[in-house]
């Protein structure tokens, strides 16, 4: 039986796609320093990450952002008009606290610290992007990144993101991002790099 090849063509991700999207991102972020800090237990990390991404996708980004997927990757973007609405409400915060357990306070402090460095200018925000490690090198992440950047360029706006994985910085730099700030998260957390891409910057 021939297996169908996975396509890296970006498609809209809706709440109906929550399960495959959260599974993909759980695999993608298993080795991410910040997610390993929030979910330090190897045995429960996969389940915790799946619940985490399901929550933020269904309650925040699928409602107030621009979410896209391929067969092996997903990306959540927030345009300027959605940024105030995409902030977690009380019910979402409670759900995330339940998922994070005794790491919830560290998560809250990290979110507050990152918010202090948010840019003042109007921008598109790349909240999450990740590809299943089994499909890395097949262009899934790059296809999603190009799709979102095209939307930001069409609006004439810069793009911001944060990354806690140093290996990812050259990938983003290839697409025109530059490091804007470097800061260690409170409580002994990992380093977080804030990056900016000017509108229309060629890869």
CB contact burial 175-197 (16+ within 10 A = b; e otherwise): bbbeeeeeeebeeebbebbbbbb
| Domain 11-156, CATH class in plain words | alpha beta
Tell me, what's the pLDDT at 1? 47
> 34-71, pLDDT tens digit by residue?
999 999 999 999 999 999 999 999 999 999 999 999 99
- By C-alpha distance, which of 117, 193, 126, 116 is closest to 158? 126
CA distances from 101 to 129, 164, 200, 201 (A): 24, 21, 42, 41
Can you give the pTM of this predicted structure?
A: 0.93
Q: Which residue has the tokens 């260690």?
A: 184
* 8 has pLDDT over 70: yes
Q: Which residue has the tokens 């925040």?
A: 60
**Cβ neighbours of residue 47 under 8 Å, at least 6 residues apart?**
none
> 89-128, pLDDT tens digit by residue?
889 989 999 999 999 999 999 888 888 888 999 999 999 9
* 88 has pLDDT over 90: no
Neighbours of 25 (CB within 10 A): 29
Length of the chain in terms of residues written = 203
3-state SS class at 126: strand
Q: Mutual orientation of helices 90-100 and 104-115 as an angle, nearest 10°? A: 130
Work out the pLDDT band at 186, boundaries 50, 70, 90: confident
Work out the pLDDT band at 5, boundaries 50, 70, 90: low
Tell me, what's the pLDDT at 11? 96
3-state SS class at 66: strand
Neighbours of 135 (CB within 10 A): 19
Radius of gyration, alpha carbons of the chain: 16
What rounded mean pLDDT belongs to the chain?
Answer: 93
Contact status, residue 71 vs residue 150, Cβ threshold 8 Å: no
Distance separating the N- and C-terminal Cα atoms of the chain:
39
CA distances from 9 to 1, 28, 74, 151, 152 (A): 24, 18, 11, 16, 18
């Amino acid at each position: 039986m021939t297996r169908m090849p996975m396509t890296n063509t970006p498609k809209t991700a809706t709440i109906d796609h929550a399960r495959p999207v959260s599974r993909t991102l759980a695999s993608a972020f298993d080795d991410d320093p910040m997610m390993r800090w929030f979910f330090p237990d190897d045995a429960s990390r996969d389940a915790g990450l799946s619940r985490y991404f399901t929550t933020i996708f269904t309650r925040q980004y699928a409602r107030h952002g621009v979410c896209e997927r391929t067969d092996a990757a997903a990306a959540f973007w927030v345009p300027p008009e959605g940024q105030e609405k995409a902030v977690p409400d009380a019910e979402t915060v409670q759900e995330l606290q339940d998922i994070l357990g005794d790491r919830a306070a560290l998560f809250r402090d990290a979110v507050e610290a990152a918010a202090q460095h948010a840019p003042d200018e109007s921008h598109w925000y790349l909240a999450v992007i990740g590809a299943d490690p089994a499909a890395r090198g097949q262009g899934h992440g790059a296809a999603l990144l190009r799709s979102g950047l095209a939307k930001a360029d069409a609006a004439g706006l810069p793009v911001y993101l944060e990354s806690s994985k140093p290996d990812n910085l050259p990938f983003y730099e290839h697409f025109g991002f530059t490091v804007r700030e470097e800061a260690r998260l409170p409580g002994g957390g990992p380093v977080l790099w804030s990056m900016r891409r000017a509108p229309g910057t060629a890869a």
